[in-house]
Amino acid sequence: MTVNETLAIYSNYLVYGAMAAFTVSMIAFAASFASLRATDVLPADTTEDGAAEGGGSVAVATKVATGGPVDGDTLPPGRRAGNIGMSTMWLGTILLGLGVLLRGLSVSRAPWGNMCEFAMTSAFVVAAVFLGLSVKRDLRWLGVFVSTSVLLVLGLAMTVFYTEAAQLVPALKSYWLFIHVSAAMICGAAFCIGATFTVLYLIADRAERRRDEGRTYWLDGFARRLPASSRLDTMAYRTNAFLFPLWTFAIIAGAVWAENAWGRYWGWDPKETWAFITWVAYAAYLHARATAGWKGRRSAYIALVAFGCFVFNFVGINILVSGLHSYGGV
Amino acid sequence: MTDLSEQPSDTDSAGMSTAPKDVDGPVGLGVVGWLRWAWRTLTSMRTALVLLFLLALASVPGSLLPQRGTDPIKVTQYLADDPTKGRIFDKLGLFDVFAAPWFAAIYLLLFVSLVGCVIPRAVTHWRVLRSRPPRAPRNLGRLPEHRVVDAPGDPAAVLEAARSHLRSRLWRVDVTSYDGSTGSLAAEKGYARETGNLLFHVALIGILAGVALGALTGFKGTVIVREGSSFADTRAQFDAFAPGRFHSDDALPPFSFTLDRFTAGYQRGGQQNGAAREFAADVTLVRSPGDAPERTTVEVNDPLEIDGVKVFLVGHGYAPTFTVKNAKGEVVFQDSVVFLPQDGYFTSTGVVKVPDTVPQLGLQGVFLPSAVVDDQGARSVFPAADDPAVFLTAWTGDLGLDSGRPQSVYTLETSAMKQVGVKGLRPGQSWALPDGTTVSLDGYVQWASFSVARDPGKELALVAGIVAMSGLALSLLVRRRRVWVRVSALDAGVTVVEVAGLARSEHATVADEVDALAAALGTVRTDRTTGSPPAPGAEATAAPRGAP
């Protein structure tokens, strides 16, 4: 099988086009986010999430950025910027999806054979999940974080991780590539989204505490544009709760594949070791949430450490350590 | 072992796997008291958390330092490069982390802690599964979800309607009281959450058992086979053999195969020039003595399977073929010698030992599949054998084979030998040594290395892994919640219905279900003047949840 160079080049153009769209989207979302004021405290959002959690004593989600009914003719500037961000996000995601598709067609296989392709597809998954979720609810306040991280991942994919379209090494020629790598990619996207929620939770929580104590906080203005910390905490937990079984599946699928390709299902290859460390770290996070004295900020820090383990496994292990998972250019 | 997300206020699971209150240790309770305290501490959630941290932390050196299990050559290299640090690391077991006693101590403690938590929880869960949902609290208005509606019909009919509504949605329902004019029912759903949680933790023990079974009763061997050569599945023919403690050589099925041809394809040109694209080993297999030989191909993702033993293609390389004649012109050596690849372009090194000549001859060689000689020296520029050449250093003297000390076939013991010359050869060329011996490079064959393994525990590990994953999904995605309904007759044909709900797991919500049940039973009261509210707090009517 050869490589269709023309398709590969068009794929690159599409990805660059997507990056341009995501850049516009990021700027628009940033403007939208910045134009929100603390006074933009709107009624509770109308989605099922967030409201009436736990003991029901706290009315959560009392403010949701850019939510609420707005008259079509008199859109405030922030609202308009949010709309621009949303539509360019759609454009960028479609371009990126086509780019990933052409990349796959150019080499007649799933475009998940190396870090460049993995990062490209993960970025697409993040953007698509965000758009999918925002169909039913207003997530424009989150847009700036999503478009920034998507842009960052794509930038890395096209520079540091960049690899020409090429065929695979024999070890990767298996249908398990579809199963194992797609699960790992969805996890990568969800890890990223979960970590974003966690960081935002930490900021919102700190701001709320400082406000209660009557002290100042340099990120207070930023935090006032976010949903309530309890809501962010819920979103982070739900993302990670979805993620953990899927990550378990990715590891099991990888083990089955490894048994078939390398003759053992688990061999403490550096990649396997860090997948295990990541798994244990997320397990620790879930346990911490149920342990007195570890709820809230402490377990959020554990979630971030777990995310750090995933990132190190993806970037650090591929570049620094040689192992059985070293292939595909980078 | 913990409950992954139950709220601490959850009284049903109190007293289990939560941190003991007497963490400072009992005073004056004697041995039994101390043992009890130790057990409670070990099985506490906080200890489990610490052990999880330790497990993650302990794995880190296993990925950053070379490991004996995966790369013993690099370990030797590390010990040679940095003997001081290397010796300390070695003493600490850092070159074999996953077999180190301290690593085993961490995960075994974790599993003990897990068992100590699973058992009491399983007992409790069993009791909960067999018991009825708890009765409605006196004041339903205090619950987080609370609706009051008016329903047509008498209380008994409304209560029955509520029961069938919930039953059809798979709730466990218990009509707790009915006295003709008032009554109540309790319902609960989401028991699968705790079932899944327990299943997950038990399955982890299953995975550990599968790993242990494989390690104790399985085996793994590796063998290098040259094109044209054969391998028979007996212990003596393996280059390396690692049996489990309870492995018996009778478990080796008596198959044999000949490597007919090895094919390797590489990318030519581009950023990944020289990257492998295809490996295939064509073999003739005899499943057991007397069977008809069958031709088949072993590929990287496509191992052979014979009676529970799998044969995997794991590596390949070149074996240059040499003929050595003594001064009288007699052939004293003729064979293809396995050279081991040193880099991605298959620059390979090996040793030829010719003991049947006087003095004995030894050759150290470097095989270059695509040789280029320029001002940077001789090197290989592509992994395929486009233009092979071998560079030899010849030694004469005593090979030391009779000393009784075991020798590697890949190294030459040169202490009793002297160097007599250096020469590069292409296939077909010969080299006459000063004593009249001639060395000729006839060509080369390829070799493939195979890993032969039997792991009787892998199926158990896989099944346990799938169970663990399913249990995990249940325990994280199923919500445990309770609903109560209280009815009381208001006027003729109208019943006041209170519906209340409580989500019992973190971040769960029962509001939608309470809304649906309330809407199915009646309509929101609008006229407050008729009748009195059935209970204080009922003025919080069926308004949308959360909104003030």
pLDDT score for B4: 42
pLDDT tens, residue by residue, B243-280: 888 888 887 889 999 999 999 988 887 777 888 888 99
| Contact at CB, A329 and B271, closer than 8 angstroms | yes
User: Contacts of residue A274 in chain B, CB cutoff 8 Å?
Assistant: 63
Closest residue on chain A to B144 (Cα): A56
pLDDT at residue number A181: 87
Q: State pLDDT tens for residues A109-137.
A: 878 778 888 889 989 999 998 998 888 88
Give residue B33's pLDDT: 85
**CA end-to-end span of chain A:** 21
How far is Cα B506 from Cα A54, in angstroms, rounded to an integer? 7
Q: What is the reported pTM?
A: 0.81
CA dist., res. B518 & res. B502, Å (int): 15
> In this predicted structure, what is the pLDDT of residue B362?
93
- Tell me the shortest Cα–Cα distance from B421 to chain A, in angstroms: 37
Mean of all residue pLDDT scores within chain B: 85
B548 chain-A contacts, CB cut-off 8 A: 59
- Unique residue bearing structure tokens 């960081």: A199
- Residue B261 near residue B284 (C-beta atoms within 8 A): no
Contacts of B302 in chain A (CB under 8 A): 260
Q: Taking CA atoms, what residue in B is nearest to A278?
A: B56
Strand ranges in B3-49 using DSSP code E only, listed in sequence order: none
How would you write the pLDDT of chain A (330 residues) with one tens digit per residue? 567 788 888 888 999 999 999 999 999 998 888 877 544 444 344 333 433 333 333 333 333 334 444 444 455 667 788 889 999 999 999 999 999 999 888 887 878 778 888 889 989 999 998 998 888 888 888 889 999 999 999 998 888 888 777 777 777 778 888 899 889 988 988 898 899 999 999 999 999 999 898 888 888 888 888 888 988 998 899 899 888 999 999 999 999 998 888 888 998 888 899 999 999 999 999 989 877 778 889 999 999 999 999 999 888 787 776 665 654 443
Beta bridge partners of B441: B322
- Determine which of B17, B52, B97, B142 to mutate to test the interface with A (most A C-beta atoms within 10 Å): B52
Token reading at A28: 């628009």
Question: CA A76 to CA A80: how far, in whole Å?
Answer: 6
The length of chain A is 330
Q: Which amino acid is at B98?
A: F
**A170 to B300: CB separation less than 8 angstroms, yes or no:** yes
Return the pLDDT at B24. Answer: 53
State the pLDDT at residue A321.
Answer: 66
What are the residue ranges in chain B where pLDDT is below 70?
1-28, 506-507, 525-548
Note whether A280 contacts B52, CB cutoff 8 Å. Answer: yes
Closest chain A CA to residue B10: A290
Number of H helices, E strands in chain A: 11, 0
Instruction: Tell me the angle at which helices A182-213 and A297-311 cross, rounded to the nearest 10 degrees.
Output: 150
Cβ-based burial of A8 (10 A; exposed 0-12, middle 13-18, buried ≥19):
middle
- ipTM, two decimals, is 0.80
